[in-house]
Amino acid sequence: MAVQLSLAHSGYHLTPKSVRGLLGFGLSAFTIILVCLNPFFEELIVRGYLMSEILDLTGNGALAVAASVVVQMSYHLYQGFANGIVLTTTFLVFSIYFLRSRRIAPLVLAHFFLDAYALLRTVF
């Protein structure tokens, strides 16, 4: 979907950045462990904790969603600015879902499946 949006908007295809040189090795047990653990920490801290604290302190849902999206986008910019912008739509959907439902487990699972899919695409 992100590729079609990018193509429709700019006329260019998004090309994923290679992560093979990031740590100096390809797929390993460490990579698989990170893919399994990352969704828990990222969703629990940025979505669950940050949004809950902002909601408790201010009562402003829009501020909580905006803060969550901005923080999460800020540490995904290593994937490139264009990919970071496209990922922002996912962050926005996840944040709005959490705001309305206050359920984090479905978001952790969705994040895990997105990360696992991305890993499989880079390996195969």
Interior angle at CA 42, CA 109 and CA 101, nearest 5: 55
pLDDT tens digits along 74-90: 988 888 888 888 899 99
Round the CA-based radius of gyration of the chain to a whole number and report it.
Answer: 16
CB atoms within 10 A of CB 115: 17
- Report the 10 Å Cβ neighbour count for 57: 10
Joined together, the tokens standing for residue 41 give 């920490």
Over residues 5-15, the pLDDT tens digits come to: 666 666 666 66
Q: Which tens digit of pLDDT belongs to each residue from 47-104?
A: 999 999 999 999 999 999 999 999 999 988 888 888 888 899 999 999 999 999 999 9
